[in-house]
Amino acid sequence: MKRFTGILVFAALILVIFSCSTGYTSTDGTDLEKYLSPESLQVLTQNPDSTIWIIDVRPESAYNNGHIPTAKSFPSRDVLNRLNELPKSQNLIFYCETGGRAQMVINNLENEGYTRMFNWGGYTRWPYDPVTEE
């Protein structure tokens, strides 16, 4: 019974940590906070701004099964190997399944000098039709 309780406490702690990731903004990313709601992000996808990229850091297979319109696929395991494709001057909105992987990517990119980033959180927050083909 103690082991089961310990597992539950650990799982709850992990859930709290990952759920707190949504809405994290890096140093120069405060302008991106206005896209926190699904409604405001949807408006951005319908009227794209070339200075803002939406980045999906889930595995490629998850991206192919459905993603936010206009999102670019940069699986978390590949991001550091693809830095040449992510301009530091670009505003970057990241999401994954729940927000945890997106936050890890943001932390790694901050170490590389990126400052214009926002963690939108999890794809599970997206209530609109996903894109499955482009």
Range list of H helices, 20-111: 38-46, 60-65, 100-111
Could you tell me the fold of the domain covering 24-125?
Answer: Oxidized Rhodanese; domain 1 (3.40.250)
The model's pLDDT over 57-99, given as tens digits with 9 standing for 90+, comes to 999 999 999 999 999 999 999 999 999 999 999 999 999 999 9
Closest CA to 107 of 47, 41, 57: 57
DSSP 130: P
Phi-psi region of 66 (alpha: psi -120 to 50; beta: other; left: phi over 0): left
Helix (H, G, I), strand (E, B) or coil at 26: coil
**Would you kindly state where each structural domain of the chain is located, as residue ranges?**
24-125
The model's pLDDT over 108-134, given as tens digits with 9 standing for 90+, comes to 999 999 999 999 999 999 999 999 876
State the pTM of this model.
0.82
